[in-house]
């Protein structure tokens, strides 16, 4: 045992001595020129290393360099720079003049993907083939270079397109591991900051580059993200994604298959395709079963006792207040102008969407974008016990976005619809509508204040809440004429079997024209206007009673032969009315007196003959 230990110690001493001798005999600065020359001849990029290179033996044999930079040919700024660089090398290949780099490590690197760092290739520059480069290397250097792994730690990536704001990708931690078959394993963790929002991304992927640059394949095994910040839910939006990607350079086609991603526990599957020509074209097909927008957007449930000014609220991080003269719709239009730069064909099928207790089923969406000209043809689904179909167009090629909507609604439950829009349930029943509307802006506020359009609506049956027109007239007449046997039970609504009307929307004012409503008790005609932002009504109706109180047959017949003017006005939650019954009755009484007087004169005239 003692001899074995002695032999082991002797071997360790020889290894340590050999390594020390090798490190002493080999000057790492001999690699400097070779590294720069190798990189420049293979890629055209210039590697600059400042200061002396030095060995670092423990725990890994490494070459330590000071400040480094890598610059593209003709570029004004370096594409990569770092305060220090470490090359982990293998010991034994050094004996045969092979610089086998196990890992290149950069800490605190700065990566500039900006216009100033892009290569500027001179015209008529002669190309150098790979064979010529390899031959030149063999004649000018006795060293061979191989790199297995690249590591970035706590680095910064700055990305910017021409005339656009910079995007900073911070805390970049990247591992690239390549084998002899040009298969690369990627591990990435980074954070993106923009517009008071933070996006944290974690990625694990495998990329096959054995046919690069003509073709490559990627397997995104795991991509996790979390988006937090201004105008987002307090807990942010987070999820995962997996997919298979392929790129074919001759056709400029990028394909995504087996796409599976989630956002706050909402899952989508599908595939996508991109043609990366001068004007890119994107084809996207997605499908989902149950989507809960409350979870994605962070909305809080509506309370049952919401008042007139109720509005859908959400637990979100507020945006900092910044003085501006541009309204929200103009901001939105500016943000959407990016759609001018590409074409899109998007299909989406969802079994059910939940939002604030509202469930929309069997949603089908087909959206096309041709460089800022959008067409929705159609968006359809089942909503509030009925169904809807919406065709729409939007033009983003001008300064202000112009939209046109062609909705078709069938048998939609009105009470549920009004509650879903945070409006007082003034009307309940089933409604069908067909119309055309146009305007600027995409939100409900814009629709109720800026949009214009016309529609035809049919409701059957329908109930007007807050007022009983029949009993209103009966009780008013009974009070003025001291009529008995009037129904004492007051029902706070009017039942209508069928209602038809023409609608005209103009900047928040909804005009009701050619209104016609019939039931067993009343027949109504008239017109009016609703102020949607203020939830105010102003209706002028002509009502004819078809059935009335018991007794007083003459008066009942009188009411059934005349149109009673009824003015309904005020806030939707507290409607008021006015009926000028006295002048109406006096007018009819005068007519009846005149009729009886004429009859008396006729009788007297006949007697005198």
pLDDT, greater one: 555 or 154: 154
How many CB atoms are located within 10 Å of the residue 361 CB?
A: 12
Q: For 527-540, what is each residue's pLDDT tens digit? A: 999 998 888 999 99
Instruction: Give domain status of residue 476, yes or no.
Output: yes
Over pLDDT 70: what percentage of the chain? 72
285: Cα within 13 Å, side-chain hemisphere:
7
Longest C-alpha distance within the chain, in Å?
165
- Total tally of structural domains belonging to the chain: 3
Whether residue 543 contacts residue 566, with contact meaning beta carbons closer than 8 Å, is answered with yes
Pick from 187, 183, 245, 186: nearest CA to 211:
183
Instruction: Give domain status of residue 132, yes or no.
Output: no
Give yes or no: residues 162 and 184 share one domain.
no
Give yes or no: residues 354 and 414 share one domain.
no
Residue 137 has pLDDT above 60, yes or no: no
Provide mean pLDDT across the span 316-343: 59
DSSP 76: S
How many CB atoms are located within 10 Å of the residue 124 CB?
A: 4
DSSP 228: E
- Confidence at 597, pLDDT banded by 50, 70, 90: very low
CA distance 190 to 564: 73
Provide mean pLDDT across the span 421-427: 76
Pick from 256, 230, 575: nearest CA to 424:
575
Lowest average pLDDT, out of 145-149, 351-355, 436-440, goes to 145-149
pLDDT, greater one: 530 or 608: 530
Output the pLDDT for position 465. Answer: 81
Residues ≥6 apart with Cβ < 8 Å to 595: none
Output the pLDDT for position 585. Answer: 61
Output the pLDDT for position 315. Answer: 53
Residue 499 has pLDDT above 80, yes or no: yes
How many CB atoms are located within 10 Å of the residue 561 CB?
A: 10
Output the pLDDT for position 129. Answer: 53
Output the pLDDT for position 325. Answer: 39
Output the pLDDT for position 270. Answer: 96
Which one of 119-133, 270-284, 550-564 scores highest in mean pLDDT?
A: 270-284
Q: For 217-226, what is each residue's pLDDT tens digit? A: 999 999 999 9
Give yes or no: residues 365 and 451 share one domain.
no
Output the pLDDT for position 379. Answer: 93
Give yes or no: residues 364 and 504 share one domain.
no
- Confidence at 138, pLDDT banded by 50, 70, 90: very low
CA 331, 335, 337, 341: dihedral to nearest 10 degrees? 170
pLDDT, greater one: 116 or 324: 116
CA distance 584 to 587: 5
Residue 347 has pLDDT above 90, yes or no: yes
Give yes or no: residues 352 and 489 share one domain.
no
Instruction: Give domain status of residue 101, yes or no.
Output: yes
Provide mean pLDDT across the span 304-319: 47
- Confidence at 400, pLDDT banded by 50, 70, 90: confident
Instruction: Give domain status of residue 326, yes or no.
Output: no
Instruction: Give domain status of residue 510, yes or no.
Output: yes
CA distance 35 to 45: 11
Instruction: Give domain status of residue 319, yes or no.
Output: no
**Is the alpha carbon torsion for 409, 414, 420, 422 positive or negative?**
positive
Which phi and psi angles does 596 have, rounded to 5°?
A: -70, -35
Lowest average pLDDT, out of 7-16, 183-192, 340-349, goes to 7-16
Give yes or no: residues 559 and 416 share one domain.
yes
pTM, entire model:
0.71
Give yes or no: residues 114 and 213 share one domain.
no
CA distance 446 to 407: 17
Output the pLDDT for position 494. Answer: 84
Output the pLDDT for position 224. Answer: 95
391: Cα within 13 Å, side-chain hemisphere:
6
Give yes or no: residues 569 and 481 share one domain.
yes
Residue 567 has pLDDT above 90, yes or no: no
Output the pLDDT for position 205. Answer: 95
Output the pLDDT for position 484. Answer: 53
Pick from 31, 203, 44, 177: nearest CA to 103:
177
- From 156, 178, 200, give the residue that closes a domain: 178
Pairing type for strands 149-159 and 110-113 reads: parallel
DSSP 122: P
Provide mean pLDDT across the span 10-16: 48
Which phi and psi angles does 561 have, rounded to 5°?
A: -100, -5
Give yes or no: residues 57 and 206 share one domain.
no
Output the pLDDT for position 456. Answer: 95
Instruction: Give domain status of residue 209, yes or no.
Output: yes
Give yes or no: residues 353 and 482 share one domain.
no
Q: For 387-399, what is each residue's pLDDT tens digit? A: 999 999 998 888 7
What's the domain range around 241?
179-300+338-371
Instruction: Give domain status of residue 11, yes or no.
Output: no
Give yes or no: residues 456 and 589 share one domain.
yes
Residue 140 has pLDDT above 60, yes or no: no
Give yes or no: residues 187 and 156 share one domain.
no
> Which helix or strand (DSSP H or E) is residue 328 part of?
helix 328-336
């Amino acid at each position: 045992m003692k001899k074995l230990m002695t032999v082991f110690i002797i071997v360790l001493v020889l290894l340590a001595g050999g390594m020390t001798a090798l490190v002493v005999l080999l000057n790492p600065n001999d690699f400097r020129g070779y590294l720069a020359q190798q990189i420049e001849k293979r890629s055209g990029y210039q590697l600059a290393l400042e200061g002396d290179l030095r060995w670092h033996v423990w725990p890994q044999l490494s070459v330590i360099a000071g400040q480094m930079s890598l610059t593209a040919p003709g570029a004004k700024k370096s594409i990569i720079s770092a305060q220090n660089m470490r090359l982990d090398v293998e010991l034994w290949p050094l004996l045969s003049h092979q610089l086998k780099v196990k890992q290149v490590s950069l800490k605190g690197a700065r990566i500039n993907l900006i216009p100033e760092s892009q290569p500027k290739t001179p015209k008529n520059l002669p190309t150098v083939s790979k064979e010529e480069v390899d031959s030149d290397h063999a004649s000018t250097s006795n060293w061979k270079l191989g790199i297995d792994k690249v590591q970035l730690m706590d680095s910064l990536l700055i990305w910017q397109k021409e005339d656009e704001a910079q995007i900073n990708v911070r805390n970049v931690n990247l591992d690239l591991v390549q084998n002899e078959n040009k298969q690369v394993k990627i591990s990435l963790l980074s954070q993106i900051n923009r517009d008071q929002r933070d996006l944290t991304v974690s990625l694990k992927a495998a990329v096959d580059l054995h046919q690069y640059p003509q073709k490559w394949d990627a397997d995104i095994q795991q991509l996790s993200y979390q988006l937090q910040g201004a105008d987002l839910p307090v807990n942010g939006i987070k999820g995962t994604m997996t997919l298979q990607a392929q790129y074919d350079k001759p056709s400029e086609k990028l394909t995504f298959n087996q796409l599976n991603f989630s956002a706050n526990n909402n899952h989508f599957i599908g595939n996508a395709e991109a043609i990366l020509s001068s004007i890119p074209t994107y084809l996207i097909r997605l499908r989902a079963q149950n989507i809960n927008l409350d979870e994605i957007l962070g909305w809080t449930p509506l309370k049952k006792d919401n008042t007139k000014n109720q509005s859908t609220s959400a637990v979100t991080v507020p945006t900092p207040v910044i003085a501006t003269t541009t309204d929200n719709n103009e901001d939105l239009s500016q943000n959407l102008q990016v759609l001018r730069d590409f074409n899109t064909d998007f299909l989406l099928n969802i079994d059910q969407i939940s939002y604030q207790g509202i469930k929309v089923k069997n949603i089908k969406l087909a959206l096309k974008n041709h460089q800022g000209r959008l067409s929705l043809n159609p968006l359809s689904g089942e909503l509030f016990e009925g169904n809807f179909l919406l065709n729409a167009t939007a033009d983003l090629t001008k300064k202000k976005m112009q939209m046109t909507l062609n909705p078709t609604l069938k048998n939609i439950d009105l009470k549920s619809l009004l509650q879903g829009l945070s409006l007082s349930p003034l009307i309940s029943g089933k409604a069908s509508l067909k119309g055309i509307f146009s305007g600027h802006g995409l939100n409900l506020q814009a629709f109720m204040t800026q949009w214009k359009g016309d529609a035809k609506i049919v409701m059957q049956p329908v109930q007007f809440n807050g007022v009983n027109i029949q009993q209103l007239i009966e009780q008013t007449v009974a009070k003025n004429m001291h009529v008995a046997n009037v129904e004492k039970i007051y029902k706070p609504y009017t039942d209508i079997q069928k209602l038809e009307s023409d609608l005209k929307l103009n900047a928040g004012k909804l005009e009701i024209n050619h209104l016609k409503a019939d039931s067993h008790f009343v027949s109504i005609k008239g017109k009016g206007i609703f102020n949607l932002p203020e939830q105010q009504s102003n209706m002028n109706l002509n009502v004819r009673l078809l059935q009335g109180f018991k007794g007083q047959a003459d008066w009942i017949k009188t009411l059934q032969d005349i149109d009673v003017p009824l003015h309904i006005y005020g806030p939707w939650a507290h409607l008021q009315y006015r009926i000028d019954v006295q002048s109406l009755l006096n007018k009819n009484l005068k007519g009846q007196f005149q009729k009886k007087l004429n009859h008396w004169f006729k009788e007297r005239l006949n007697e005198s003959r």
